[in-house]
């Protein structure tokens, strides 16, 4: 077992706390100085990282994975007062000065984007729409107009940008594989909701700067705003050091603070309004709108924010003067609804959170008209149906085959019960049905009906005839709405005596004729339904 310096009670408690956090390496910060020489000058207040070896790891593995080039395995062994041939095993702890650790830029990623959000490259200045899964690097900016974005940092911390915000990523650094990060952002204007993963004293760092203040965070949930008149912060969980640079105060959960751009004005620290008391709401909503209500508590205004649980997308934000809110316009999924009272300055208080699942189910529509097999003279017939579910949208689909593999046209998705096709229908027989959708992913399909659009197909004109020995090949025009063609061969131009008749799927046919005799050929188009074109003009055929 490796020997190491004993830490105080505070360090032990910190170690135990960190060991319970998911995804955080079992490690702590020590303020004990090393007794060996170091590649860089060590001082009494230089922080250390205490790393606990995992199963299968060796000291050499740790040195290669965590140390900068100027720090060697030998120096690490000497710093920890170990024998040169010491064997390490799982659970042993190694002290490493922070300035020996590798530092690497770790980009952030946009986990969700709603509406119009702009991404500005810090290296090229190029502007492009921010999309989900886009990589955000040091120096980049994200500017939200009417949209919003959720951004996840390398350590799992999450930023939710409100509309009309501008956020600059000044530093995104991670200490190798040690799990510590140094993140520094600038909120030039607007608002962010931030959930920061717990960080360790004198190790990881998370700061958001505004034109008038700075917020240093050690693992917390908070909101921050920046305007032309000043900056403010509201802490939901944890602690934030907030204020003008060099003049910060420690603000605990349940409190908010603000500073103005006027340098002489003191910081305003106040208790946030308490979380409203929500009335019971069903955890699964089978239909929308559904009412969210709460008990009156003397506040004049409230704010409701709706976030998608999986992606963190910020979907809705409303200010209300009522004590009820209609939940609507949500697809199927799980959501967190945050409700907070607004104080007289318009600052949000502590949130009450309702977690709900929307589970809307589409039901099979009933067809009304046209009737089965009905023939209509209108090439834009109206289709009518009855929806049987709630919060449904529907469209009519029209195909020329019963399996709807060849969709001819459809109507637009709408919550209506009648529609016209998006383009005129040529004469012929069609199949139609209605598809309904609820919640974005639940679909139901009606029964299928046939429809005949009256009219005639255009006549077919023969365009060329080729003679090869005793064979004649006839070519004719294509009719877009035709399925097949009927060809007739006769020995007189009146076609009273038909000597050959056949259906042809293509626009050409080969005929064998007796030399020295005259023939006449004509073609007409056939549809899937009862319609057919008139016979095209006949053409004379003759072989010498």
Percentage helix, strand, coil for the chain under 3-state DSSP, each rounded to 5 = 5, 45, 50
Q: Annotate 102-130 with DSSP letters as a single string.
A: --EE--EEEEEEES-EEEE-TTT--EEE-
In Å, how far from its chain's centre is CA 329? 16
**What gap in Å lies between CA 357 and CA 334, rounded to an integer?**
4
Q: What whole-number distance in Å separates Cα of residue 526 and Cα of residue 485? A: 5
Q: CB within 8 A of 13, min separation 6: which ones?
A: none
User: Which are the contacts of 6, defined by CB distance < 8 A and separation ≥ 6?
Assistant: none
Contacts of 284 (CB under 8 A, 6+ apart): 356, 357, 358, 359
Q: Which two tokens stand for residue 290?
A: 């559904």
Structure tokens at 488: 């007739």
With a CB cutoff of 8 Å and minimum separation 6, the contacts of 469 are none
- Using CA atoms, how far apart are residues 458 and 521, in angstroms rounded to an integer? 18
List, in sequence order, every beta strand (DSSP E) within 198-273. 205-209, 214-217, 221-227, 230-237, 239-243, 249-252, 255-260, 268-271
* Summary count for the chain: helices (H), strands (E): 3, 44
Which residues, 6+ apart, have CB-to-CB distance to 453 below 8 Å? Answer: 375, 376, 378, 379, 381, 425, 426, 427, 428, 429, 430
Using DSSP, state whether 337 is helix, strand or coil: strand
pLDDT number for residue 46: 58
Question: In the prediction, which pLDDT does 491 show?
Answer: 92
CB atoms closer than 10 angstroms to residue 288: 16
User: In DSSP terms, which residues pair with 396 in a beta bridge?
Assistant: 434
Q: Which tokens is 523 given?
A: 């073609």
pLDDT tens, residue order, the chain (544 aa): 333 333 333 333 333 333 333 333 333 323 222 223 334 344 455 566 777 777 777 888 888 877 888 888 888 888 888 887 777 787 788 888 877 877 766 789 999 999 899 999 988 889 999 999 999 988 899 999 889 999 998 878 899 999 999 999 988 876 655 556 778 899 999 999 998 876 544 456 788 999 999 998 867 889 999 999 899 999 999 889 999 888 899 999 999 999 988 767 789 999 999 999 999 999 999 999 999 999 999 899 999 999 998 888 888 899 999 999 999 989 999 999 999 999 888 889 999 999 999 999 999 999 999 999 998 878 889 999 999 988 899 999 999 999 999 999 999 999 999 999 998 888 788 999 999 999 999 999 999 999 988 877 778 999 999 998 778 999 999 987 788 999 999 999 999 889 999 999 999 999 998 888 999 999 998 876 566 678 889 999 998 7
* pLDDT at site 531: 65
Give CA 423 to chain center in angstroms: 33
243 DSSP β-pair partners: 214
Residue 441 token pair: 């992913």
* Alpha carbons 119 and 103: distance in angstroms, whole number: 25
d(Cα 491, Cα 511) in Å, to the nearest integer? 14
List, in sequence order, every residue forming a beta bridge with 52; answer none if it has no partner.
93
Q: CA-CA distance, 214 to 231, in Å (whole number)? A: 9
Beta-sheet pairing, 135-136 with 141-144:
unpaired
d(CA 138, CA 68): 21
3-state secondary structure of 68: coil
CB 247 within 8 A of CB 224: no
- Torsion sign over Cα 141, 143, 149, 150: positive
Question: How far apart (Å, rounded) are the C-alpha atoms in residues 460 and 478?
Answer: 8
In this prediction, residue 226 carries a pLDDT of 93
Across the strands, what pairs with 399?
407, 431
Q: What are phi and psi of 295, to 5 degrees?
A: -85, 140
Size (the chain), residues:
544
């Amino acid at each position: 077992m490796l020997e190491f310096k004993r830490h105080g009670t505070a360090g032990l408690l910190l170690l135990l706390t960190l060991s319970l956090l998911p995804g955080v390496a079992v490690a702590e910060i020590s303020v004990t100085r090393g007794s060996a020489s170091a590649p860089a000058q060590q001082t009494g207040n230089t922080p250390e990282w205490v790393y606990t070896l995992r199963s299968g790891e060796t000291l050499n593995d740790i040195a290669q994975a965590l140390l900068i080039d100027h720090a060697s395995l030998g120096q690490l062994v000497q710093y920890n007062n170990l024998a040169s041939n010491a064997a390490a095993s799982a659970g042993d702890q190694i002290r490493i000065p922070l300035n020996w650790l590798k530092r690497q830029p770790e980009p952030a990623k946009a986990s969700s984007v709603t509406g119009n959000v702009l991404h500005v490259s810090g290296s090229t200045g190029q502007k492009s729409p921010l999309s989900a899964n886009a990589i955000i690097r040091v120096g980049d900016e994200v500017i939200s107009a009417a949209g919003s974005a959720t951004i996840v940092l390398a350590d799992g911390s999450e930023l939710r940008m409100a509309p009309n915000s501008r956020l600059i990523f000044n530093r995104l650094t991670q200490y190798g594989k040690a799990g510590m990060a140094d993140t520094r952002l600038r909120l030039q204007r607007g608002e962010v909701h931030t959930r920061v993963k717990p960080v360790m004293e004198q190790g990881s760092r998370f700061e958001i700067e505004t034109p008038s203040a700075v917020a240093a965070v050690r693992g917390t949930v908070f909101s921050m705003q920046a305007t032309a008149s000043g900056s403010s912060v509201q802490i939901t969980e944890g602690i934030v050091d907030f204020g003008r640079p060099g003049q910060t105060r420690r603000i605990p959960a349940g409190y908010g603070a603000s500073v103005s751009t006027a340098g002489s004005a003191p910081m305003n620290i106040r208790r946030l309004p308490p979380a409203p008391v929500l009335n019971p709401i069903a955890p699964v909503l089978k239909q929308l709108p559904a009412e969210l209500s709460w008990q009156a508590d003397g506040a004049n205004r409230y704010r409701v924010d709706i976030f998608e649980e999986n992606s963190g997308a910020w979907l809705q934000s409303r200010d209300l003067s009522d004590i009820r809110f209609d939940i609507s316009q949500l697809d199927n999924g799980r959501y967190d609804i945050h409700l907070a009272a607004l104080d007289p300055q318009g600052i949000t208080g502590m949130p009450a959170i309702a977690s709900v699942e929307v589970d809307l189910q589409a039901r099979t529509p009933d067809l009304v008209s046209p009737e089965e097999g009905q023939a209509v003279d209108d090439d834009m017939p109206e289709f009518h149906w009855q929806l049987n579910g709630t919060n449904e949208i529907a469209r009519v689909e029209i195909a020329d085959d019963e399996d709807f593999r060849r969709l001819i046209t459809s109507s637009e998705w709408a919550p209506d019960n009648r529609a016209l096709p998006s383009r005129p229908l040529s004469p012929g027989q069609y199949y139609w049905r209605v598809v309904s959708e609820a919640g974005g992913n639940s679909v139901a399909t009606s029964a299928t009906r046939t429809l005949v659009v009256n009219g005639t197909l255009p006549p077919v004109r023969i365009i060329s005839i080729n003679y090869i020995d005793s064979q004649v090949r006839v070519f004719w025009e294509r009719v877009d709405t035709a399925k097949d063609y009927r060809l007739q061969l006769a020995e007189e131009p009146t076609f009273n005596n038909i000597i050959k008749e056949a259906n042809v799927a293509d626009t050409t046919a080969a005929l064998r004729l007796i030399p020295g005799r005259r023939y006449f050929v004509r073609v007409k188009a056939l549809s899937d339904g009862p319609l057919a074109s008139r016979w095209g003009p006949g053409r004379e055929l003759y072989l010498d």
